[in-house]
């Protein structure tokens, strides 16, 4: 059962957090608009589309990246005010432990972390898909970085496809080779000079085929150049398409499926997708750590007042963001395991939080 003190602290925390989000949203939106306005004008984009197709999705995206920093600043801001008014000192003099004071802070952090988890796993990926589609279609940004030549990929655990060149304009592949394996042994090779996608029935049409079958040292060869056949493969035109920010617009389930599919096909590097998947949970949980750090920093009444506490908090928060980006870079380079790279900031700042709490006013 929440007591009046708990409601008081939780209310202050959430109201200050909302105010912090509002201020940073205004600043970030103005900065982004000043950078993007010439693109909107050059491409003759209606202002209703700018608002409804871009900024309505951009704002949740940019804020989701900074929720831990917002939480830290919010805690320091209102806790410094409580300390300046001797309210924290009064609680301690009344016999309340630091752990008891921290309880409503952690409840507030739970609300914010829950909101952040919902944004990261559900809302923001959906919004990113809408925003990036707008940038591709109306602004000509985020070019296709997908594979179009010398493509090797497993389409099933026992079959592999090779394409020398793929044209995305007409969904046509040239110099195609389909290989089938029985364990480590190559059993068949189906080659085609050209392979074209038939969207009506989701099949590929093969032209100028040659078929080779291997049975130990025996080989059977068959060539057919005059007829075509339709065949179904675990391959679709979208497998040749990739975008720089593809990971940002995939749902959590989509990320997991994409990682599984790419691993099975032995193509590309799934590290950036694994980092994104782990980051969507790690960053919201850092709200608890930074909340305790903010309480430890701002809970003591100082001569410098709120200004010193805010500067200290912002410096720590920026260090947290910098360490997060640095550790993600290390993980992306395969220098360290992916999960270690994502969780390093949380592990390190957990130790900092424990040290600061041990030295906090009691």
Which helix (H) or strand (E) segment holds residue 74: the answer is: helix 67-84
Which helix (H) or strand (E) segment holds residue 229: the answer is: strand 229-231
CB 132 within 8 A of CB 124: no
How far is residue 101's CA from residue 47's CA, in Å, rounded to a whole number?
48
CB atoms within 10 A of CB 289: 24
Structure tokens at 10: 């939780």
| Domain parsing of the chain, residue ranges | 4-141+270-358, 149-241
Q: What pLDDT score was predicted for residue 54?
A: 92
CB 25 within 8 A of CB 80: no
Q: Which residues contact 226 (CB under 8 A, 6 or more apart)?
A: none
Q: What pLDDT score was predicted for residue 224?
A: 75
How deeply is 4 buried, as exposed, middle or buried, from its count of CB atoms within 10 A (0-12, 13-18, 19+)? exposed
CB 235 within 8 A of CB 151: no
**Closest alpha carbon to 291 in 10, 89, 97, 88:** 10
The per-residue pLDDT string of the chain (362 residues; one tens digit each, 9 = 90 and over) reads 678 888 999 999 999 999 999 999 999 999 999 998 888 888 888 888 889 999 999 999 999 989 999 999 999 988 888 888 888 778 888 888 888 888 999 999 999 999 999 999 999 999 998 998 888 887 766 565 566 777 877 777 778 888 888 887 778 888 888 888 877 788 888 888 888 888 777 788 888 888 888 877 777 877 776 667 777 777 777 777 766 777 888 889 988 888 887 777 665 568 888 888 999 999 999 999 999 998 888 877 666 566 777 777 778 888 888 888 888 888 777 777 888 888 999 999 999 989 888 877 66
Helices 67-84 and 56-64, packing angle to 10 deg = 70
**Angle at 160 (CA atoms; ends 147, 207), nearest 5 degrees:** 80
Q: What pLDDT score was predicted for residue 109?
A: 95
Q: Which residues of 170-195 are buried (b: 16+ CB within 10 A; e: fewer)?
A: ebbbbebebbbeeeeeeeebbbbeeb
Structure tokens at 292: 């305790």
How far is residue 96's CA from residue 299's CA, in Å, rounded to a whole number?
13
Q: Give Rg (Cα) of the chain.
A: 28
Q: What pLDDT score was predicted for residue 141?
A: 62
Q: What pLDDT score was predicted for residue 243?
A: 67
How far is residue 68's CA from residue 319's CA, in Å, rounded to a whole number?
12
User: What is the maximum span of the chain, computed from C-alpha positions, in angstroms?
Assistant: 94
Q: Which residues of 120-158 are buried (b: 16+ CB within 10 A; e: fewer)?
A: bbeebbebbbebbebbeebeeebeeebbeeebebbbeee
Secondary-structure percent of the chain, ordered helix, strand, coil, rounded to 5: 60, 20, 20
CB 76 within 8 A of CB 294: yes
pTM: 0.78
How far is residue 243's CA from residue 181's CA, in Å, rounded to a whole number?
31
Q: What pLDDT score was predicted for residue 20?
A: 94
Q: How far is CA 331 from the centre of its chain?
A: 14
Helix (H, G, I), strand (E, B) or coil at 188: strand
How far is residue 279's CA from residue 287's CA, in Å, rounded to a whole number?
13
How far is residue 247's CA from residue 278's CA, in Å, rounded to a whole number?
12
How deeply is 79 buried, as exposed, middle or buried, from its count of CB atoms within 10 A (0-12, 13-18, 19+)? buried
pLDDT tens digit string along 88-117? 778 888 888 888 888 999 999 999 999 999
**Angle at 123 (CA atoms; ends 118, 126), nearest 5 degrees:** 145
């Amino acid at each position: 059962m929440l007591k009046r003190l708990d409601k008081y602290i939780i209310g202050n925390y959430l109201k200050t957090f909302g105010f912090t989000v509002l201020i940073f949203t205004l600043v970030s939106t103005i900065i982004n608009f000043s950078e993007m306005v010439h693109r909107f004008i050059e491409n003759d984009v209606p202002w209703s589309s700018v608002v409804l197709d871009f900024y309505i999705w951009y704002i949740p995206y940019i804020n989701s990246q900074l929720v831990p920093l917002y939480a830290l600043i919010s805690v320091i801001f209102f806790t410094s005010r409580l300390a300046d008014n001797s309210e924290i000192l009064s609680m301690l003099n009344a016999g309340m432990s630091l752990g008891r004071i921290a309880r409503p802070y952690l409840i507030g952090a739970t609300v914010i972390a829950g909101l952040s988890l919902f944004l990261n796993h559900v809302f923001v990926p959906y919004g990113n898909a809408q925003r990036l589609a707008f940038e591709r279609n109306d602004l000509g940004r985020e070019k296709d970085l997908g594979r179009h030549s010398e493509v090797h990929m497993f389409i099933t655990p026992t079959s592999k496809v090779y394409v020398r060149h793929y044209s995305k304009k007409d969904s046509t592949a040239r110099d195609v080779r389909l290989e089938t394996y029985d364990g480590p042994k190559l059993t068949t090779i189906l080659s085609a000079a050209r392979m074209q996608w038939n969207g009506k029935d989701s099949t590929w049409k093969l032209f100028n085929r040659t078929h080779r079958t291997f049975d130990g040292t025996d080989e059977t060869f068959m060539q057919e150049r005059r007829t075509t056949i339709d065949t179904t493969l675990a391959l679709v035109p979208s497998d040749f398409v990739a975008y720089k920010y593809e990971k940002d617009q995939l749902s959590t389930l989509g990320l997991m499926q994409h990682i599984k599919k790419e691993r099975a096909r032995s193509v590309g590097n799934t590290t950036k997708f694994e980092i994104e998947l782990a980051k969507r949970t790690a960053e919201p949980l850092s709200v608890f750590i930074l909340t305790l750090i903010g309480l430890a920093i701002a809970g003591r009444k100082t001569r410098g007042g709120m200004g010193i506490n805010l500067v200290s908090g912002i410096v720590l928060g920026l260090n947290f963001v910098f360490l997060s980006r640095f550790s993600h870079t290390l993980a992306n380079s395969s220098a360290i395991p992916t999960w270690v790279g994502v969780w390093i900031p949380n592990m390190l700042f957990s130790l900092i939080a424990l040290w600061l709490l041990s030295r906090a006013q009691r």
